[in-house]
Amino acid sequence: MDPIAGNTVMILSLIAGSALVILEAFIPGFGVAGVTGIILEILGVIFAWIHHGTWFAMGMTALVLCLIGVTVYLSYRSAMKGRLSKSPLILKDQAKAEEKKDSARWLDRKGVAVTAMRPGGFVEIDGIRLNAASEGDWIQKGAGVKVTGAEGDHLIVRAEK
């Protein structure tokens, strides 16, 4: 019997599962692609066990775990330095620690809400992204804000009228 024809289901489930797990690494959150990929990977290992025995299935399991490890590493690396790091979905704190320590420096300054403030979010003042919370009102992304105080590690802002 042809080795590829006899193992088509196993091969397709491992390839499709691997592709979905890799795709999930670059999509925020854990969703349908990741769950489906893991299920297909498990089915591929089960088919390997049924058709080729325990040792072959253990080898396939090791291969799948290595693939998942490489995928996690690549997505982490991309989130820190690569293309994914430039995504607005990855929240970064661009202000330097010494710039953030002096809360009084930001009082009465004006900026823009980088995220929707519900009430927490991020504002940008003079090109520096800072953690902030509104005085209680919801502020839309892109709205002008004014710093009215500081509390802990975040600024208190209100929408500019």
Q: How does pLDDT run across 145-155, given as a tens digit for each residue?
A: 988 888 777 88
Does 91 map to a domain? Answer: no
Asked if residue 26 has pLDDT above 50, the reply is yes
Q: Which of 86, 113, 143 is the last residue of a domain?
A: 86
Residue that finishes a domain, picked among 86, 112, 131: 86
Give the total number of structural domains in the chain: 2
- Burial label for 136, CB within 10 Å (0-12, 13-18, 19+), is exposed
Domain ranges, residue 103: 97-159
Mean pLDDT for the stretch of residues 61-89: 74
Pair 67, 126 in one domain? no
- Residue 124: inside a domain: yes
Residue after which a domain boundary falls, among 86, 110, 139:
86
> Alpha helices of 26-158 — where are they, by DSSP H?
32-52, 54-80, 97-101
Do both 79 and 109 map to the same domain? no
Whether the predicted pLDDT of 58 surpasses 80 = yes
Closest to 111 measured CA to CA, from 130, 91, 88: 130
Under the banding of pLDDT at 50, 70 and 90, the label for residue 18 is confident
More confident residue, 17 or 25: 17
Residue 3, pLDDT > 70, answer: no
What's the one-letter identity of residue 41? Answer: E
